[in-house]
Structure 1
Amino acid sequence: MKKTNYKIFIICLVFLAAAFSACEKNNGYNTDPVSKDTAKPETVTNLKVDNFNGGAYITYDLPNSDNILYVLAKYNIRENVARETKSSYYTDTIKVEGFAEAQEYEVTLYTVTRANVVSDPVTVKVNPKTPVYQLVRPSIAISADFGGVNVKTFNPLKKEIGVILIAYDDVTRDMEVQDQHFTRLDTVDYSIRGYKTDARDFGVYITDQWGNVSDTLNVKLSPLYEELLDKSKFSPFTLASDSPPYDGNWIVSRLWDGNNGEPGWHTGSSGKAPFVATFNIGNTYKLSRFIMWQRPDSWAYGHGNPRDFSLWGSNSASPRDAQLPVSAAAGTVIGDWVNLGNYNFPPPPSGMPVPGNSADNEFVKAGVNFNVPFNAPSVKFLRLSVTRTWSAGSFAHVLEMSFYGKPE
């Protein structure tokens, strides 16, 4: 697929449903005639424009007629791409958006009656400010990461954007879309993995919900080596401040027994946060990421499943015990232990109440990836410290964890 085509292809896929919706939905305006008054309506008057990033608000005075149903705006957001926006009779403002550039555009307004009779056109000039996708583009940064690349960018207005990663494909011998990350968050920081360590061409560009596409930041990078840590080399390293187990089955070694089902690690029922488990990972590693499997089904997003937690590490030959705090910044050193990172388990993807949602349950059952900060030190011992569970109760539990990194 040629470079000139892959952007069009991905935009078509992502925004096809939205385009159909925009063309087919009537947005609450019944287009069937509801009036026998077929007189042509007067136009809107006293037009005023308030520009914003990628669009503008146009205010106006409506004709003095009870037969007006809505105001229609027609405009091009880029060459050969037209949009329409409607605004109810009950408001004096219409929003036009999706413009590809910060430049002058012409918008044509019509009043439409309840009999679907359209007025003469009235034209107004708008000058939208820099569109959000262009505002975000200069902040893109892409760097080598373990098993892939890391992408960062800043979305100061917290508007919907798409961060699109492309990479050279050995089969097609062309740049192909590898990942699409859609978000409204102001800070974007994520990794795409699954690559060998050989040098490869990567690129990132920004798109928006109207199919506008920025230029591409192109780089050549060599992903860093990572491997799945050998769990057969893990062993408990119990310290006095560790949380006692629930019973003889739910012990710390269940965290790496290769079984994502029950039993797992489970602390006693009368403890107090943080709930801590300590273990030896066998060799010294610079960790890149880990996967956590929490208890699913009726326990998903509830019970003792971690909501907020930290990972502490040590590379001492035999690290001494230390009482871990409920809260500490990444990089904090307490005795032989350093805070490798603080984590929040993602909220239910469905946004619905839990437990009981099947999609949320499947998300939990699949395991969740968490990155270890790139600047975190190499370690041989780990402490999982759960600072808050989804039930905010007096115990915590995790079924399984897998760790990735580079041996030192």
Structure 2
Amino acid sequence: MKNINQWLLIILIPCAFLFACEKMENYNEPASTDMTKPEVVSNVKVENFNGGANITYTLPNSKNILYVMAQYKINGVTTRETKSSYYSDTIMVDGFAKKQAYDVTLYTVSRANVKSDPLIVKVNPDTPPYLLVKPTIDAQPDFGGIKITGSNPRKANLGIILLGFEGNVSDVIDQNFSKLETIDYSVRGYQPVEKRIGYYVMDNFGNISDTTYKTITPLFESLLDRNKFSVYRLPSDGVIAYGWDLPYLWDGKTDGSSNGWHTAPGGAMPAIATFGLGVSAKLSRFVLWERPDGSEKFAYGHGNPKVFSLWGSNATAPRDASLPMSAPEGTVIGDWINLGNYNYPPPPSGALPIAHTAADNEFVKAGVSFNVPLVSPKVRFVRLSVATTWSNGTFAHAMEMAFYGDAR
């Protein structure tokens, strides 16, 4: 009996597999042989929103309905098609280029892929997001480049397209797509000479705003010489641990194979490192290299800074000051001013910090750049003040820091 059962399994499993394959091969065939033309939807209502509309309806009383399809032109040229299953009573149409009336043609489609007669519905979408955002976009000179700012309160997926000119010929020099509510970034790598630029906003449907043209002169920027940096230890600084002393923070080694800066566990937070730049400079930005994965998984964990601030002083011998866990940008405490508050970005992959990917670790190893506000004063000394680490521990560490700005 046992042998018979085994032979039955050997015979039945391939048969079942072949049957499944046959079903899979025919999945595109109509689910019904009923070729009756379905009725159109009824009780149609339209709810407009920015750049689109939701259309609600009542389906025909038929079990043979598969979906409702909408066809429409979003800009006079491009035709879009959206579908909504028979489980729903609403279909969304979006991507319209302007605030105006548009025709949307609705079809009811049966399980035999038979379409109903067309039903034309008028929609009147409000101003699309890309046109709402465009007037808020501004381009201003920045250190080594151009600073782009704006507001995207609806968090639409939009792109800011930046053009550069050589004579009368333009070329795209940067594209920045995001859903961020606040638009604030810089495009760098330009000398402090006049540059003609243009910029426009584009959505993911291919709609494009008008272009604004400007002539901008980027501000001078250079990498500060790390050979001039020096230890300037203050009583409220974090206690050094494991031989990871402050000079390792500017030794040019970033890959995690050597020492960095490390404070002792159990210390008070914020964990602070103070050092001199060797010059009086108006800072434009800095790059922070956190500790990457090595023999253990350190990236997005351990003592790597998550929430931190940068303080500065232009005094020749600044006095110690007890820094708070947080303070508004521009706050002055003794000889020190808050130059900015920062959050280290989460893993680019979208994974949880504890489950970050190899690509996330490469992002950490490459270093992350943070801008210093243009209104910040010149400074000779800086304090890295770490309020929170990725492990929420009582110590902090980092591999390297580099600073850019104008020390002239």
Q: TM above 0.5, one fold?
A: yes
Count of aligned residue pairs for this structure pair: 376
Indicate the residue corresponding to 1:27 in structure 2. none
Indicate the residue corresponding to 2:333 in structure 1. 334
- Paired with 1:281 and 1:275, the residues of 2 have a C-alpha distance of 19
Report the alpha carbon displacement of residue 156 of structure 1 after superposing the two structures with TM: 1.5
Whether contact under 8 Å (1:31, 1:116) holds in the other structure is no
Report the alpha carbon displacement of residue 32 of structure 1 after superposing the two structures with TM: 2.9
SS of the equivalent of 1:300 reads coil
Choose from 279, 283, 288 the match for 2:284: 288
Question: Is structure 2 residue 368 aligned with structure 1 residue 368?
Answer: yes
Aligned CA-pair RMSD: 1.1
Unaligned segments of structure 1, at least 5 residues: 1-29
- Paired with 2:356 and 2:389, the residues of 1 have a C-alpha distance of 18
Question: Is structure 2 residue 395 aligned with structure 1 residue 395?
Answer: yes
Indicate the residue corresponding to 1:300 in structure 2. 299
Indicate the residue corresponding to 2:197 in structure 1. 202
Report the alpha carbon displacement of residue 384 of structure 1 after superposing the two structures with TM: 0.6
Indicate the residue corresponding to 1:273 in structure 2. 269
Whether contact under 8 Å (1:302, 1:355) holds in the other structure is no
Indicate the residue corresponding to 2:177 in structure 1. 182
Question: Is structure 2 residue 247 aligned with structure 1 residue 250?
Answer: no
Report the alpha carbon displacement of residue 265 of structure 1 after superposing the two structures with TM: 0.3
SS of the equivalent of 2:359 reads helix
Choose from 114, 119, 122 the match for 2:116: 119
Whether contact under 8 Å (1:73, 1:108) holds in the other structure is yes
Summarize deviations over 1:83-106 as a string: whole Å, max 9, x none: 001011111111000000100100
- Amino acid in the other structure paired with 1:289: R
Report the alpha carbon displacement of residue 218 of structure 1 after superposing the two structures with TM: 1.0
Indicate the residue corresponding to 1:217 in structure 2. 212
- Paired with 1:80 and 1:279, the residues of 2 have a C-alpha distance of 60
Summarize deviations over 1:181-204 as a string: whole Å, max 9, x none: 111111101101000111011121
- Paired with 2:104 and 2:188, the residues of 1 have a C-alpha distance of 45
Indicate the residue corresponding to 1:63 in structure 2. 60
Whether contact under 8 Å (1:234, 1:280) holds in the other structure is yes
- Paired with 2:28 and 2:84, the residues of 1 have a C-alpha distance of 14
Q: Where do 4+ consecutive residues of structure 1 move more than 6 Å?
A: none
- Paired with 1:356 and 1:84, the residues of 2 have a C-alpha distance of 37
Indicate the residue corresponding to 2:99 in structure 1. 102
Higher alpha-carbon Rg: 2
SS of the equivalent of 1:346 reads coil
Summarize deviations over 1:17-69 as a string: whole Å, max 9, x none: xxxxxxxxxxxxx7530001111111111211111000011111111000000
- Paired with 2:383 and 2:83, the residues of 1 have a C-alpha distance of 57
- Amino acid in the other structure paired with 2:143: F
**TM-score, normalization: structure 2?**
0.90
- 1:47-62 residue pairs with structure 2 within 5 A? 47-62=44-59
- Paired with 1:80 and 1:259, the residues of 2 have a C-alpha distance of 55
Indicate the residue corresponding to 1:406 in structure 2. 406
Whether contact under 8 Å (1:295, 1:364) holds in the other structure is yes
Name whichever of 160-169 and 211-220 sits farther off.
Answer: 160-169
Q: Go from structure 1 to structure 2 and tell me whether the alpha carbon gap of 1:368 and 1:48 turns closer, same or farther (over 3 Å shift).
A: same
Indicate the residue corresponding to 2:232 in structure 1. 237
Indicate the residue corresponding to 1:351 in structure 2. 350
Unaligned segments of structure 2, at least 5 residues: 1-26
- Paired with 2:274 and 2:153, the residues of 1 have a C-alpha distance of 40
- Paired with 2:379 and 2:356, the residues of 1 have a C-alpha distance of 39
**TM-score, normalization: structure 1?**
0.90
- Paired with 1:79 and 1:346, the residues of 2 have a C-alpha distance of 41
